[in-house]
């Protein structure tokens, strides 16, 4: 699955928001265990559905082939929101008997009870049932456009049970025969290819029968019904299709080209050919996540699949590419080999995250993906330095706990840990370990140990000890390097917290590879253990302890070594290493181990850097300084003057946009424009941004879209009714998901009086899809000028806001409150949500409160330093 926030861009705070929404949660002890018994094991489902898209209901029937270990008269499986009509079992003894059903909605289970004991051995369950096509974007649900209804599925993690009674746990793998009776003229898509398509039963209907699927988990089953149209291609003998509603089929060829690159890339990398004959990619009008890796039938939010390459911004192109190859990587990591249980969901998500970057970097070397990855690592390290972080592998039993496992730790931290491991073992050794792991467990399930034991065996290196240390332990280390002497450097390690008031447990230590930089591009990797006092230093020239920026740790240097790094930052370090150094320095400011001025000095030294990701990374921290540390008008003005002095020359050097500008140049220009206007208060550039915005909205193909969208974001900040109406019209009438989405996001960025309430009322009106509503609040809370009013609106319209939220969207709303930076606001947030609890969002509330406390502490400690540093700057 892919996080849903991947699809939005809101300009200056885009990435910061994405980071903030890397949701983290503490875990309470598991509620009553909800695991099914292993006395009954399913092996095959034959499923028939007849959805009624107008009435939003469906009828279904299934036969499940099961094996019974011990004789029993009761079978428990998962079901919720299902009406059972008849239940029968046919046992090994040849007897068929009807069963009665008792439901346990709390556990989302149904127990089928039979009068006579069913003997051990094979048996067949036959169940007839009915259900509703719900509006909750999970299970078997209804998606709507202005023209018609669609029936689609989303089962991960625990929602297959809303479509049919099943053994809904990842280790109960089975094969599936799916048949759908649908309206004549409609099509259906499912995991495997169509085996038969026959008229009836009944008038104006036809029945589509799909080939038997491979053995797989319930959460990977999918079927969609409607008038989807597709563009088709082929790679490595696999039929590829990208499908959308008919009005959007023109936006499918880009995704097809990505899939045609990635399929042979993966076949080759994994050494295991894609196991199905076809692979479909389907854009769904209403979709909660970003995308879902159903085996052979990947579903997407439209913004994450469909684009027009002529008008797409670079961010959209990168997001769509990463999401497609992420889901394709899951066909092996997750679909072919599945985690035994959700506690190891990182085996799915960490791998898909690591691989999406690797595959995209191979497809687009000019996108500088390693720098993008290094910047992402800084954000994850910051999240993991909070007290509410969790270990990569953590307990999860209830559906709410399982849903909360899909967070920044399972995706980001696990992905970076795998990158560190690959970097240490070498690409080819690591690839062989991956192949050995997949080959040993294909069509089955695996645990973390299965993975690292395979890598240990292939490499002959202590991967098991390293991975156990990183996967089971909570948090991250900071490595304190002394001045190197006589060819060695001593290292002290302890857990790192951003908050200076937390004292780490002195006994917590890690075993992990540390790669020291040697020469221009070399590295020397050594394994640091809890008892290692020192490492050998192979290169005495410039000491840098995170070669390539791939190590999952923070580094601290002795003063002379840090001064040398600062002096040679543009010549001695690679761009990824500069990003890593900046991240370490900013983390130290937040932990009160350095002064904010030290960070700004580093940002000054890096301001001429020609790499967009280096600039983007430091610009985000400068945004944070302006928003969170600068407390007075005078400080903000002085900081704005510094921003103009520091970054205007770089912006001027880029010159006006040219058709042959590189992606890097386009990104740099857009990001500098945002920084120089929003926090640099450059009035001339603001006027220029308004002009570019107008041109972009009039003719999106006439302006570099990356620049055009940044300009609209600036124009919206100071926008008027004409601009607001224009954006509303784009959202309601454009057939380009990217533009629609972009226009909607900008509506909450208006800071002139009156517009925010209008935008929020619009967000909770039926004119905005529920999949988008909560984001509007989350984005508005990021904008300092709009924060108080957004919170006041939320409280005043609570009942209406609540009804617009889909089951998992409440967390975005709750966590948005974490942008406040005062004790009064914190208490208000606490009290309000205590009185108005949001289901399954208590952990997000704790994280929000922690975020507010962190901001208060940061401002208290660093604001005097900022004031002093600003006063010492030349005017
Ligand atoms: Zn995923």
Find the 342 Cα to ligand 1 centroid distance in Å. 13
- What per-residue confidence (pLDDT) applies to 366? 96
- What per-residue confidence (pLDDT) applies to 519? 82
What 3-state class would DSSP assign to 357?
Answer: helix
**Residue where the block lists tokens 């928001």:** 17
- What per-residue confidence (pLDDT) applies to 278? 98
- What per-residue confidence (pLDDT) applies to 702? 94
The residue among 262, 223, 269, 292 whose CA lies nearest residue 60 is: 223
Residue 825 to residues 149, 625, 792, 828, Cα–Cα distance (Å) = 43, 20, 11, 5
The residue among 75, 164, 70, 78 whose CA lies nearest residue 114 is: 75
Instruction: Give me the residues paired with residue 179 across strands.
Output: 48, 209
- What per-residue confidence (pLDDT) applies to 160? 98
Q: Which two tokens stand for residue 363?
A: 């497809």
Find the 410 Cα to ligand 1 centroid distance in Å. 10
- What per-residue confidence (pLDDT) applies to 281? 98
Find the 296 Cα to ligand 1 centroid distance in Å. 15
Catalytically active residues are 327
Find the 94 Cα to ligand 1 centroid distance in Å. 44
Instruction: Give me the residues paired with residue 852 across strands.
Output: none
Residue 300 to residues 243, 324, 398, 754, Cα–Cα distance (Å) = 10, 9, 26, 35
Find the 240 Cα to ligand 1 centroid distance in Å. 20
- What per-residue confidence (pLDDT) applies to 24? 33
Three-state DSSP string of 691-710: HHHHHHHHCHHHCCHHHHHH
Residues with Cβ within 8 Å of 796's Cβ and at least 6 positions away in sequence, in order, are: none
- What per-residue confidence (pLDDT) applies to 400? 83
Segments of the chain scoring below 50 in pLDDT: 4-32
Residues with Cβ within 8 Å of 571's Cβ and at least 6 positions away in sequence, in order, are: none
Residues with Cβ within 8 Å of 632's Cβ and at least 6 positions away in sequence, in order, are: none
DSSP state of 239: E
End-to-end CA distance of the chain: 50
- What per-residue confidence (pLDDT) applies to 482? 96
**Tell me: the pLDDT tens digits for 32-62?**
458 999 999 999 999 999 999 999 999 999 9
Separation between Cα atoms, residue 160 and residue 141, nearest integer Å: 11
Is 510:469 a contact under the CB 8 Å cutoff? yes
Angle at 311 between CA 325 and CA 692, to 5 degrees: 130
Find the 488 Cα to ligand 1 centroid distance in Å. 42
- What per-residue confidence (pLDDT) applies to 514? 97
Q: How many Å is the maximal CA-CA distance in the chain?
A: 92
**Tell me: the pLDDT tens digits for 858-871?**
999 999 999 999 99
- What per-residue confidence (pLDDT) applies to 401? 86
Centroid of chain to Cα 717: 27
pTM of the model: 0.95
DSSP state of 775: H
Angle at 450 between CA 444 and CA 453, to 5 degrees: 150
- What per-residue confidence (pLDDT) applies to 34? 83
- What per-residue confidence (pLDDT) applies to 20? 33
**Residue where the block lists tokens 């690292």:** 452
Quick one: angle between helices 705-717 and 314-330, nearest 10? 110
- What per-residue confidence (pLDDT) applies to 33? 59
For the chain, how big is the Rg over CA atoms in Å? 27
Separation between Cα atoms, residue 564 and residue 654, nearest integer Å: 29
Residue 180 is inside which H or E element, if any?
A: strand 175-183
């Amino acid at each position: 699955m892919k996080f849903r926030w991947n699809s939005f861009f809101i300009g200056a705070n885009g990435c910061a928001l994405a980071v903030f929404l890397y949701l983290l949660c503490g875990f309470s002890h598991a509620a009553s265990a909800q695991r099914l018994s292993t006395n009954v094991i399913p092996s095959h489902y034959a499923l028939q559905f007849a959805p009624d898209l107008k009435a939003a209901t469906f009828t279904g029937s299934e036969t499940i082939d099961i094996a019974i270990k011990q004789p029993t008269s009761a079978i428990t499986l998962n079901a919720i929101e299902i009406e059972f009509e008849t239940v029968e079992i046919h046992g090994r003894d040849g007897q068929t008997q009807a069963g009665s059903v008792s439901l346990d909605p709390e556990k989302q289970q149904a127990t089928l009870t039979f009068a006579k004991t069913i003997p051990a051995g094979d048996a067949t369950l036959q169940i007839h049932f009915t259900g509703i096509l719900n509006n909750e974007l999970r299970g078997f649900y209804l998606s709507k456009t202005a023209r018609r209804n669609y029936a689609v599925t989303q089962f991960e993690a625990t929602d297959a049970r809303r479509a049919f009674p099943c053994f809904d746990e990842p280790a109960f793998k089975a094969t599936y025969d799916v048949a759908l009776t649908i309206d004549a003229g409609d099509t259906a898509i499912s995991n495997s290819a169509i085996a038969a398509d026959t008229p009836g039963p009944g008038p104006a209907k036809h029945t589509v029968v799909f080939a038997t699927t491979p053995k797989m988990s319930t959460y990977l089953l999918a079927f969609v019904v409607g008038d989807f149209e597709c563009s088709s291609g082929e790679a490595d003998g696999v039929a590829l299709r990208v499908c959308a509603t008919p009005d959007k089929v023109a936006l499918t060829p880009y995704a097809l080209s990505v899939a045609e690159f990635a399929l042979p890339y993966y076949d080759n990398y994994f050494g295991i050919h894609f196991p199905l004959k076809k692979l479909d990619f389907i854009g769904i009008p209403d979709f909660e996540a970003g995308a879902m890796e159903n085996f052979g039938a990947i579903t997407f939010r439209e913004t994450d699949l469909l684009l027009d390459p002529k008008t797409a911004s670079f961010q959209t192109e990168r997001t769509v590419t990463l999401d497609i190859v992420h889901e394709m990587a899951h066909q092996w990591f997750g679909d072919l080999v599945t985690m035994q249980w959700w506690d190891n969901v990182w085996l799915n998500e960490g791998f898909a995250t690591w691989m999406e970057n690797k595959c995209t970097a191979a497809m687009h070397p000019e996108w500088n993906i390693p720098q993008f990855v290094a910047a992402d690592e800084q954000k994850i390290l910051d999240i993991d330095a909070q007290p509410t972080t969790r270990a990569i592998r953590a307990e999860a039993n209830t559906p709410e706990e399982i849903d909360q496992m899909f967070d920044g730790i399972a995706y980001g931290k696990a992905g970076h840990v795998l990158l560190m491991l690959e970097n240490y073992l070498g690409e080819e050794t690591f690839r062989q370990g991956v192949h050995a792991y997949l080959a040993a467990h294909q069509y089955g399930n695996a645990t973390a140990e299965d993975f690292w034991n395979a890598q240990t065996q292939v490499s002959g290196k202590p991967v098991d000890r390293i991975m156990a240390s990183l996967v089971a332990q909570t948090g991250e280390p900071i490595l304190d390097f002394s001045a190197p002497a006589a060819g060695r450097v001593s290292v002290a390690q302890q857990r790192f917290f951003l908050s200076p008031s937390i004292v780490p447990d002195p006994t917590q230590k890690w075993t992990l590879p540390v790669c020291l930089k040697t020469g221009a591009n070399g590295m020397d990797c050594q394994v640091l253990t809890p008892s290692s006092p020192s490492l050998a230093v192979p290169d005495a020239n410039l000491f840098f302890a995170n070669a390539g920026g791939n190590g999952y740790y923070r580094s601290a240097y002795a003063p002379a070594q840090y001064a040398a790094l600062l002096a040679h930052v543009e010549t001695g370090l690679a761009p990824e290493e500069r990003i890593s150094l900046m991240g370490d320095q900013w983390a130290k400011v937040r932990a009160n181990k350095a002064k904010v001025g030290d960070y700004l000095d580093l940002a000054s030294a890096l301001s001429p850097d020609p790499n967009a990701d280096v600039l983007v990374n430091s610009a985000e921290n400068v945004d944070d300084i302006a928003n969170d540390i600068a407390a007075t008008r005078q400080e903000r003005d002085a900081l704005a003057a510094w921003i103009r002095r520091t970054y205007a020359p770089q912006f001027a050097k880029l010159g006006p946009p040219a058709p042959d500008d590189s992606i890097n140049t386009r990104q740099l220009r857009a990001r500098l424009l945002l920084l120089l206007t929003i926090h640099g208060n450059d009035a001339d550039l603001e006027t220029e941004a308004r002009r570019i915005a107008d041109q972009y909205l009039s003719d999106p193909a006439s302006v570099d879209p990356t620049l055009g969208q940044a300009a609209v974001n600036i124009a919206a900040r100071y926008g008027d009714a004409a601009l607001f109406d224009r954006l509303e019209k784009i959202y309601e009438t454009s057939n380009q998901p990217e533009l629609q989405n972009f226009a909607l996001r900008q509506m909450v960025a208006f800071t002139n009086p009156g517009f925010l309430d209008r935008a929020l009322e619009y967000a909770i009106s039926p004119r905005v899809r529920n999949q988008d509503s909560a984001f509007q609040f989350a984005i508005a809370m990021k904008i300092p000028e709009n924060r108080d009013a957004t919170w006041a609106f939320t409280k005043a319209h609570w009942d209406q806001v609540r009804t617009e939220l889909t089951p998992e969207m409440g967390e975005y709303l709750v966590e948005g409150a974490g942008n406040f930076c005062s004790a009064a606001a914190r208490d208000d947030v606490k009290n309000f949500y205590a009185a108005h609890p949001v289901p399954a969002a208590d952990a997000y509330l704790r994280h929000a409160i922690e975020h507010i406390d962190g901001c208060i502490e940061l401002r208290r400690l660093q604001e005097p330093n900022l004031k002093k540093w600003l006063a010492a700057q030349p005017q």
